[in-house]
Amino acid sequence: MSYRSLGNPFDADTDLQHGPACNCPICVFKREPEASRYECTESQMTERLERAVFDDAATSADPSPVFAAASAKRQPFATSDDVMDRAVESAIVRGLFGHNDMSRRNFLGLVGGGTLAGILGTMLPMDKIKAAVKEEMLKPEKTKLKVGFVPITCATPIIMAHPLGFYEKYGLDVDVIKTAGWAVARDKSLAKEYDASHMLTPMPLAMTMGAGSTAVPYRMPAVENINGQAIVLHVDHKDKRDPKDWKGFKFGVPFDYSMHNFLLRYYVAEHGLDPDKDIQIRVVPPPEMVANLRAGNLDGYLSPDPFNQRAVWEKVGFIHILTKDIWPGHPCCAFACSDEFATTLPNTYAALLKSIVDATHYSQKAENRKEISAAIAPKNYLNQPVPVIEQVLTGRFADGLGNIQDVPDRIDFDPFPWHSMAVWILTQMKRWGYVDGDIDYKAIAEQVYLASDAAKYMAELGYPVPDKTYENYMIMGKEFDWTKPEEYVQSFAIKRA
């Protein structure tokens, strides 16, 4: 049995009216005792429920008990398309009878539903109407968007989606805007100058918790890249490959709330150096890293590419270690937007996320990397020499020490936002004193890292989706157990918490 209001309009025995016996989620919701407890207006709730019906509730992640109650009492249509088809038929038939359900049922009782359907079919192009309605329903509410990016290869999917037409493919007209650094990217996002932005994976967590800025609920439905960073040292330090010799060094990281900061701290701390006392860590916007290294303001940095490779190209630095060798497959940059954007413009959000997920998978393929390098090197995007970008993306590169290394996964792209990655980041924020007090690790991770959204579009686009959202990691020989975050924080010898 399906919803009554979405019952077969060609059946004389079906009552199409909402009413005491109707079992559509809207009516069920009105009767549920939870209704009074739910903190939103009725029209908001109706809108959500209608959307849920349309999206096919069986796969919806809406955890509200109301919704669970509603969906338990019905059988969903096979696909959301079927719901739409039925809604269109129903609207037309009901309109034919002046929205008088009794006269519809009387007439159908006389002539039979098949006859009416046949007559209607000859008079109206039913299929075309259905297709037009569906297209209208899924159309992005807003097609002209601004997406910010910091000019680094981590943003490859966001950037290359522009020259290679991934935004257009999903009906969007996106301007990708170059941004001077992460603080500016954050402030411009909070100021709604950007609809969505390239961010560092810890940033949406910090912004949601209000660490370092006002607390605004942010969501991160997709990771951009994994790996792809490196520790670069000044060429004068070629003899100081042991981190124990780095006392007094000045290091650059792109932002406080960055994987770069956390990985550098983790790396030196594992080698017995206290990152707050034995070395100095400064925040330097990525594009200014090479100039600072050349000027001697920095002894080294853990920064995004292409600035690691650019330092080698300019012969001022060498690649000490790839971050992939600290934590294989660590997340780095992300695609993020405000909760408000995603909920007020759901179709736009869906289209944008789809283009990003699609572009990320395209970037993942080794055979596309050369094409992408050429597409993102010009002034409008990264503004870097093509050979530098190519060495980063193809993973065949000169390390500045006289060797050619071949590391195809030097940078890789994978959109799935693992909740366990968020938990690890939160443990490090706690470890180094960026947040105080007790943290509900899992709750924040699940609120911000929207694995369900990524999974939905990955599945829709035909990519494999992991069957879990948590896993353990091995980082420099030490295991991270996602079920015991607090114990993990306490297990480190060097920490602030």
End-to-end CA distance of the chain: 57
| Token pair of 120 as six digits | 């209607």
> Which of residues 18 and 146 has its CB atom nearest to another protein in the complex?
146
Cis peptide bond upstream of 25, omega within 30: no
Between CA 282 and CA 412 the distance in angstroms is 27
Written as six digits, the tokens of 426 are: 């939160």
Nearer to another protein, 86 or 162 (CB): 162
Of 40-48, 191-199, 462-470, 472-480: span binding another protein (CB under 8 A): 191-199
Contact present, 307 and 388 (Cβ < 8 Å): no
Supply the minimum distance, in Å, between the C-beta of residue 65 and another protein.
37
The smaller minimum CB distance to another protein, of residues 286 and 485, is found at 286
Q: Report d(CA 296, CA 308) in Å as an integer.
A: 16
Q: Under the criterion CB under 8 A, does residue 380 sit at the interface with another protein?
A: yes
Q: Which is nearer to another protein, 151 or 275 (CB)?
A: 151
Q: State which of residues 67, 397, 418, 441 lies at the interface with another protein (CB under 8 A).
A: 397
CA distance 84 to 35: 26
Does residue 403 interact with another protein by CB under 8 A?
yes
State the nearest-atom distance from the C-beta of 309 to another protein, in Å: 9
3-class state of residue 178 by DSSP: strand
Sequence-ordered strand ranges (E) for 205-304: 218-223, 225-227, 229-234, 250-253, 280-283, 300-304
- CA dihedral sign, ordered 177, 179, 182, 188: negative
Identify whether the C-beta of residue 305 lies closer than 8 Å to the C-beta of residue 228: yes
Nearest distance from residue 285's CB to another protein, in Å? 9
Count interface residues toward another protein (CB under 8 A): 40
The β-bridge relationship of strands 173-178 and 144-149 is: parallel
Pick 3 or 397: Cβ nearer another protein: 397
Helix (H, G, I), strand (E, B) or coil at 43: helix
The piece of 19-27, 77-85, 266-274, 402-410 that touches another protein (CB under 8 A) is 402-410
Q: Select from 25-33, 349-357, 397-405, 430-438 the region that touches another protein (CB under 8 A).
A: 397-405
- The kind and range of the H/E element at 200 are strand 196-200
Interface map 298-327 toward another protein (x if CB under 8 A): ------------x-xxxx------------
Q: How far is the CB of 208 from another protein (least distance, A)?
A: 18
Asked if 376 touches another protein (CB under 8 A), the answer is no
Q: Which residues partner with 198 through β-bridges?
A: 335
What is the contact mask toward another protein in residues 143 to 182, using x (rule: CB under 8 A)? --------x-----------------------xxxxxx--
Q: Is 142 in the site for another protein (CB under 8 A)?
A: no
Of 200, 264, 290, 342, which one interacts with another protein (CB under 8 A)?
290
DSSP string, 208-230: HHTSSS----EEEEEE-EEE-EE
Query: Contact residues for another protein (CB under 8 A)?
Result: 151, 175-180, 184, 187-188, 190-193, 287-288, 290-291, 310, 312-315, 378-381, 383-385, 387-388, 391, 396-398, 400, 402-404
